[in-house]
Amino acid sequence: MLVILITPVIVALVLSFTDYSLGNAGFDWVGGENYEKMFTRSTYEKMLGATLTYVLVVVPVSVFLGLGAALLINSLRWGGDFYKTIYFLPVMAALLAMAIVWEFTLHPSIGLINDTLTSGCDIGWVYSLASGAWYGNDPVSSWYGKGCSDGFPLWLGDRDYALWTVCFIGVWQAFGFNMVLYLAGLTSVPRQLYAAAEMDGVRSSWSRFWLITWPMLGPTTVFVVTITMIRSFQVFDTVEALTHGGPVKSTYVMMYAIFEKAIRHNLVGMGAAITVLFLAFVMLLTLAQRWLVERRVHYA
């Protein structure tokens, strides 16, 4: 355990202050130079921006969708197992394989998505609905109208869309897992609480949710949010397979940066510095989670 887990952390810390590269006999101490680069160069600024955007989009959306799906499924009379199975499929599938499939689905000329969007252009009511013409919007200036005349986005090849597309795939992959965790959390909410609330005059399902379900799911939520965050920080497969960090570094996330700098360019020192920063982020998150959970335990 010491060798495999703790030593590497120390090694990373040490290397981050050097200009070591594999194959060289020695190395020089460069002090904080790697860190200085990381906080001043625009590449790394973009890296932090892309990573944080990814995390800040994927975490809330996938947690919210996971919770929503769990609540809906839990309140169904029948068919819940069916949806559970379907929503969980992406969790099991190799993300790399699915990323490539998404690439085809999103392909600008033969992909199903743009194909469907384009075929809608020729159908009167679809066009009017999607371009907003039905409520008096100018159809040509709308997003859909522009897409019809100038072609729909390249998704992964467009710097304005690439990161969002990668985020979308991230959410698609992650929310089923969150759903299962929430379903588990829901089974542990004592039924008597609902009965008691009913007696106290809590009737609407909305207030039932806010007064009982949501607070009782607190520990689950802390857990789900932390684990999703840690996983989002680690996003690699989709970026390496689909965009290589581009276009214009718009999807240059941390794990990919570590891989590119340290392993492809053999700038181990720089890679180590990014690793240390990454580690700091994740440790902070986990400690925050521990603290939150412990606080809960004291109150309960």
Smallest distance, Å, CB 136 to other proteins? 27
Q: How many residues bind other proteins (CB under 8 A)?
A: 80
Member of 34, 176, 250, 253 binding other proteins (CB under 8 A):
176
Tell me if the bond preceding 219 is cis, omega within 30° of 0.
no
Q: Does 19 bind other proteins (CB under 8 A)?
A: no
Closest CB 138 distance from other proteins, rounded Å: 28
Residues 281-300, interacting with other proteins (CB under 8 A):
282-283, 286-287
- Does 5 interact with other proteins (rule: CB under 8 A)? yes
Contacts of 68 (CB under 8 A, 6+ apart): none
Stretch that binds other proteins, among 36-44, 52-60, 109-117, 146-154 (CB under 8 A): 109-117
| Window 130 to 169, contacts with other proteins (CB under 8 A) | none
Among positions 250-269, residues that touch other proteins (CB under 8 A) are: 255, 258-259, 262-263, 268
DSSP string computed for 228-273: HHHHHHT--HHHHHHTTT-STTTT--HHHHHIIIIIIS--HHHHHH
Which residue lies nearer to other proteins by CB, 161 or 182?
182
Residue whose CB is less far from other proteins, 3 or 135: 3
Query: Is 63 exposed, middle or buried, given 0-12, 13-18 or 19+ CB atoms closer than 10 A?
Result: buried
Question: In this structure, what token pair is assigned to residue 113?
Answer: 């998505």
Would you say 163 or 242 has its CB closer to other proteins? 242
Q: Which of 57, 154, 167, 180 binds other proteins (CB under 8 A)?
A: 180
- State the nearest-atom distance from the C-beta of 204 to other proteins, in Å: 11
Query: Which residue among 17, 54, 102, 152 contacts other proteins (CB under 8 A)?
Result: 102
Cβ proximity to other proteins, 158 vs 240, nearer residue: 240
> Among candidates 179, 181, 207, 180, which has minimal Cα distance to 194?
207
Nearer to other proteins, 127 or 278 (CB): 278
230 touching other proteins, by CB under 8 A: yes
> Which residues in 78-97 contact other proteins (CB under 8 A)?
79, 83-97
Give backbone dihedrals phi and psi of 29, rounded to 5 degrees, phi first: -80, 130
Give phi and psi for 152, each to the nearest 5: -80, 165
* Gap between the Cα atoms of 253 and 242, Å rounded: 13
Select the residue interacting with other proteins from 19, 108, 128, 236 (CB under 8 A). Answer: 236
Please identify which residue in 48, 183, 253, 257 interacts with other proteins, judged by CB under 8 A: 183
DSSP 103-149: HHHT-TTT-HHHHHHHHHHTSHHHHHHHHTGGGT--GGGSHHHHHHH
Q: Which two tokens stand for residue 26?
A: 């020695």
CB atoms within 10 A of CB 223: 17
